[in-house]
Structure 1
Amino acid sequence: MTESGKVATVTLEGKSASLPVHSGTLGPDVLDIRKITADLGVFTFDPGYGETASCTSKITFIDGDKGILLHRGYPIAQLAEQATFTEVAYLLLNGELPTTTEHDAFVDTLKSHTLLHEQIRNFFNGFRRDAHPMAILCGTVGALSAFYSDANDISNAASRNLSAMRLIAKLPTIAAWAYKYTQGEAFVYPRNDLTYAENFLSMMFAHPSEPYKINPILARAMDRILILHADHEQNASTSTVRMAGSTGANPFACVAAGIAALWGPAHGGANEAVLKMLAKIGSKDNIPEFIAQVKDKNSGVRLMGFGHRVYKNFDPRAKIMQATCHEVLGELGIKDDPLLDLAVELEKIAINDEYFVKRSLYPNVDFYSGIILKAMGIPTSMFTVLFALARTTGWISQWKEMIEEPGQRISRPRQLYTGSPERDFTPFAKRG
């Protein structure tokens, strides 16, 4: 962040405040309002923080109007098409792409932390068999601090780095075991001869009684899904991680808080909502009526998986996910799945309908990722878990950046109070 040299002056009831204007590497200039309360006796009102920069960051940049998503300056399309998830994880954590030697060491370190403490197995037995996997994930990640007390020493760089590696390494194991537990199947331990994505698929679908063959097309698809969801600037869950981290909480607790925020259907549950929408439509014959309902503002019907709060043009991740979707469906030979056929037909109609084109309601990453995950045999209850698995890398990178920032303060938003003014207490006897 640099001073642009520009100053905005705000005048209120004879008082004036000079607000410095800061410039980032990319994006619009930002007004520094930190002294507005001291100078004018007021503070700003911004529900949802849609117009407020809560921090400085060097990790991710988004230009929603132009459909741009950069990680440390690299376009998401280049990373998804040419890099592996572990390369992207290293990039997010350290700021630069790794050399071969650095990447090998990074992967070796991750592999040394994929196992869970054996006592953590007992945690799973405490959940009901029909527990939602996100509940299991959130609870188990939060409990990791009970096994790694050194994580509480957030002032120590080595401790922070170790916690980051533990989280990235152990999330696939916890996520896969959450699935296995709900299915009543035996836990499958991680294998260090596999890549990050391959290892997760193995723990999800392998059985102790027979060998599991990795499909390279599906493994690459999973790797891309992880890359495309790795970080997305200051969204609700990332902001939650940063806010929790600002209190000095250990990183396991902070990531558990992020998982809880991601659980909401308006955030991490969007791809699951896509499949629920398709199931509700039922058949291709019902699409015209559904589209008509979407266009009717009074119907309350929404087209899930199209458009994005941030991207006002197109989601740069969607094109990559679309191509991956067709690769997966082709590899699996899926041609007659009614739900997938319905999705393809809905996509075709929506992208050619002037109503949706005019409003830039193009398919987003959630539309295609839900179709891919279903085709791969992953149940909808695991969709948000997969999102959390990918996003953990971004969360812990954002957490480290925040903790290491000089002058970091506890987050404390203000409010516009609309309740009762001060009044005197009335005893029971006088209340009637």
Structure 2
Amino acid sequence: MGRTLQDPPHPSLTITDNRTGKTITVPVEHNSIPATAFKQLNKELAEGDRSEDEVELDEAELTPWRVWQGGIRVYDPGYQNTAVIQSSITFIDGAKGVLRHRGYPIEQLAEKSTFLETAYLLLYGELPTKAQYTLFSTEVMHHTFVHRDLEDIIGSFRHDAHPMSILTAAFAALGAYSPEGNPSLAGQKIYTMDTEASLQLMDKQIFRLIGKSITLAAMAYRMRQGRQFVAPPANMGFADSFLFMMDHLNETNYRPHPTVAKALDTLFLLHADHEMNASAAAVLQVGSTLVDPYSAVSAGCAALYGPLHGGANEAVIRMLISIGGPENVPAYIERVKRKEVVLSGFGHRIYVSADPRSTIIRKIADDVFALTGKDPLLDTALALRDAALKDEYFISRKLYPNVDFFSGLIYRALGFPTDFFPVLFAVPRVVGWLAHWRQLMLSRNVKIWRPRQVYTGEGERAYIGMKEREEKGTEGTKRGGEPTKVQHPTSTRVFLARESKL
């Protein structure tokens, strides 16, 4: 009997394997299906199959350690449509340009909230009461001091080291000063036990990481400037303290400009979390091994460092400088179409309409420029934006300005060095990483993230001794199939050795 209109829809998919005729029913929950269901679609080896394809599944031999073997695998390069976790933190609707934290639209938070209040929301699920906020903000700001050894560690970097290299190493080093927060030292289950002590230990590491993030970032900046490190100030907010540690030069009663502090606080809020992005996934991938949160955050920094992620706002400024002026925008647009150059600051992996954060940032830019004066690059940026939004090439590809397009101009106007921009992304994103890490630990059943692969290499073959191997030469060798010859500069020692033989 068929289903009537009154019957509720059956929340499942029926999938038929046309190779074998086998049909399975897969449950649908929150518009998603479990990838492991496809493991039921196994078959015997047939002509054209390779044993390396693991098509067979001997259910009689299954153990908890072999359950991943056999059956259909879901091939999804770059996780284009793979959900790796259930989360209640951040929601994004890329088609409609929607971004919400715990249900609150980003536009409302940017207008009415602060970075630390939004941090509380991301971590604990609700906006705080006055007492809850006082406790949280006091703990975070109390943990801004770092061990004096960090001065030596950060000071040991080359003067021209990239600040993100310094920050990544500093977070990893920070974990050495919290042995009680390291599962490898204090016990594997210190964060996954359902106890008050476990929650307190987890939150203490969170307070430390958020509070010390601005101190480590400021130290990386001042090391590059050749300045002495500055101790965290008392009775200042998060953004104000950060600016103080970066800029204080022994002035009496120095305080950062309130417009600058407010702009930076809002920028921090906008960058605090963005769902399961590359760096958040890196934190959870590493965190799933039950490593300490300092190492997991360091892994997030390493992922954020890349120009396809946190380095994009730095790339925007370099692009605008290379264009040279508004009059050169049409020629640059044509070069982009010919794929000779990259258009940085446009498009997003998730958003197919406007990035909601970019609209907010444009308003912040006006406030900052009113104080600092208009950046000469702004005219080039606006000309590039207008040209791209009118060009069918970019319209058809849904390439709209993203959060990185104007944020770099603001940072530049405030006097931050270009290569420091990713650090200004990493500092607030520590909160998002920790919110996802905390959620993972509170699941109490942490499974190590171990993706599968589709093996396409050689089948089993016998070892051949070097004397019996044929010389193939360079023709027919697959690109990357052998080491390349690297050009090395001639050292003084080699030059003198050659001279002595003449």
Q: Distance in 2 between matches of 1:408 and 1:154?
A: 10
Q: Distance in 1 between matches of 2:259 and 2:382?
A: 20
Q: Which residue of 1 aligns with 2:380?
A: 342
Q: Which residue of 2 aligns with 1:26?
A: none
Structure 1 stretches of 5 or more lacking a match? Answer: 24-28
1:55 aligns with 2:85: yes
Q: Which structure 2 residues correspond to residues 276-287 of structure 1 after superposition, within 5 A?
A: 276-287=318-329
Q: Distance in 2 between matches of 1:358 and 1:418?
A: 35
Query: Which moved further from structure 2: 111-120 or 251-260?
Result: 111-120
Q: Distance in 1 between matches of 2:384 and 2:469?
A: 61
Query: Which moved further from structure 2: 247-256 or 150-159?
Result: 150-159
Whether the 8 Å contact between 1:188 and 1:208 is mirrored in structure 2 is: no
Q: Which residue of 2 aligns with 1:15?
A: 22
**1:39 Cα deviation after fit:** 4.3
Structure 2 stretches of 5 or more lacking a match? Answer: 1-8, 43-70, 183-189, 193-197, 471-502
Match of 1:236 among 272, 278, 284: 278
Whether the 8 Å contact between 2:24 and 2:40 is mirrored in structure 1 is: no
Q: Considering only aligned residues, what root-mean-square deviation do their CA atoms show, in Å?
A: 1.7
Letter of the 1:154 partner, please give it: Y
TM-score (norm 1): 0.94
1:319 aligns with 2:359: yes
TM-score (norm 2): 0.81
Whether the 8 Å contact between 1:21 and 1:30 is mirrored in structure 2 is: yes
1:70 aligns with 2:100: yes
Q: Distance in 1 between matches of 2:371 and 2:388?
A: 26
Whether the 8 Å contact between 2:240 and 2:255 is mirrored in structure 1 is: no
Query: Which moved further from structure 2: 6-15 or 411-420?
Result: 6-15
Letter of the 2:13 partner, please give it: A
Letter of the 1:172 partner, please give it: I
Q: Which residue of 2 aligns with 1:417?
A: 455
Q: Which structure has the bigger radius of gyration?
A: 2
Whether the 8 Å contact between 1:238 and 1:258 is mirrored in structure 2 is: yes
Aligned residues: 421
1:329 aligns with 2:331: no
| Helix, strand or coil at the partner of 2:361 | helix
Moved over 6 A (4+): none
Match of 1:144 among 174, 178, 188: 174
Q: Distance in 2 between matches of 1:203 and 1:343?
A: 31
Q: Distance in 1 between matches of 2:147 and 2:354?
A: 43
Q: Which structure 2 residues correspond to residues 364-383 of structure 1 after superposition, within 5 A?
A: 364-383=402-421
**1:300 Cα deviation after fit:** 2.6
| Helix, strand or coil at the partner of 2:450 | coil
Whether the 8 Å contact between 1:154 and 1:250 is mirrored in structure 2 is: no
Letter of the 1:79 partner, please give it: L
**1:407 Cα deviation after fit:** 2.7
**1:358 Cα deviation after fit:** 4.5
**1:128 Cα deviation after fit:** 1.0
Match of 2:306 among 244, 254, 264: 264
Q: Which residue of 2 aligns with 1:181?
A: 223
**1:247 Cα deviation after fit:** 0.5
Q: Which residue of 2 aligns with 1:162?
A: 204
Q: Distance in 2 between matches of 1:52 and 1:227?
A: 27
| Helix, strand or coil at the partner of 1:308 | coil
Task: Give the percent of matched residue pairs that are identical in Structure 1 and Structure 2.
Answer: 44
Query: Which moved further from structure 2: 285-294 or 141-150?
Result: 285-294
Q: Which structure 2 residues correspond to residues 198-213 of structure 1 after superposition, within 5 A?
A: 198-213=240-255
Query: Which moved further from structure 2: 88-97 or 119-128?
Result: 119-128
Q: Distance in 2 between matches of 1:72 and 1:249?
A: 27
Whether the 8 Å contact between 2:283 and 2:297 is mirrored in structure 1 is: yes
